């Protein structure tokens, strides 16, 4: 086989990779499932659980992508600003292929929220909002316990440092209140009660809202 002229089999493979078919069993209309909620409420855990049970669904965890940018620990905000357009483009392209995306990301700013909704609309997909919530005091306590029983994670350490610098518990309480206000502006967003230590029960409650 000449390197300059790929074989027929290879050419067909490359063509298929460039224009993938929807995953077996995917919906007619793809969905962007946004899991919103305060930090430490279980968004990323539930997103991983969801994709484990739904082959072909992309878990677009923007915070994981942020940590792939060099220097993210020293300039957290800039890394987020750099990765957000790339995440939006990836989401839109994946939805356009006919497959679903789950987005575990706290979004309080309606303008930022609208950017992700527009990515779904541009791809002809549904935008589905689910808000994972607990009581304000429980949410604060859960943030402080997040990752304590797991191996050291520089991501968690960095977020704890940022929260402490921006007001600690008062900042977390204000974030919870802001998300509650956002709910009043987003009538299509449904609340899913996140039960600490009950991943499967919370997951089932989420699935019931999506069926």
Weakest mean pLDDT among 1-5, 50-54, 198-202? 1-5
In the chain the domains, ranked by start, together with CATH numbers, are 32-210 (3.40.50.300)
Give the residue, 24 or 52, on which the prediction is more confident: 52
Q: What is the DSSP letter of 35?
A: E
Separation of alpha carbons 80 and 65, rounded Å: 9
| Confidence check: pLDDT of 3 > 60 | no
- pLDDT tens per residue across span 86-143: 999 999 999 999 999 999 999 999 999 999 999 999 999 999 999 999 999 999 999 9
pTM: 0.85
- 158 closest CA partner among 84, 63, 59: 63
Q: Is 126 exposed, middle or buried (0-12, 13-18, 19+ CB in 10 A)?
A: middle
Whole-number pLDDT of residue 160: 86
- pLDDT tens per residue across span 151-204: 667 777 888 888 898 999 999 999 999 999 999 999 999 999 999 989 999 999
- 132 closest CA partner among 50, 30, 31: 50
């Amino acid at each position: 086989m000449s390197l300059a002229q790929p074989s027929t089999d290879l050419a067909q493979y490359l063509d298929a990779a460039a224009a993938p078919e929807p995953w077996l069993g995917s919906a007619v209309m793809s969905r962007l499932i946004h899991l919103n909620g305060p930090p430490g409420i279980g968004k990323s855990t539930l997103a991983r659980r969801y994709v484990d049970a739904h082959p072909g669904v992309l878990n677009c965890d923007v915070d994981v992508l942020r940590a792939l940018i060099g220097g993210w620990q020293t300039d957290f905000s800039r890394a987020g600003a750099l990765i957000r357009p790339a995440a939006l483009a990836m989401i839109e392209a994946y939805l356009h292929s006919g497959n679903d995306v789950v987005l575990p990301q706290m979004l309080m700013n309606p303008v930022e929220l609208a950017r992700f909704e527009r990515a779904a609309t541009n791809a002809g997909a549904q935008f589905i909002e689910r808000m994972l919530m607990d009581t304000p005091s429980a949410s604060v306590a859960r943030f402080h316990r997040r990752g304590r029983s797991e191996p050291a994670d520089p991501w968690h350490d960095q977020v704890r440092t940022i929260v402490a610098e921006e007001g600690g518990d008062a900042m977390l309480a204000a974030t919870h209140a802001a998300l509650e206000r956002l709910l009043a502006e987003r009538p299509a967003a449904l609340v899913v009660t996140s039960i600490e230590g009950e991943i499967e029960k919370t997951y089932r409650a989420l699935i019931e809202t999506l069926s």
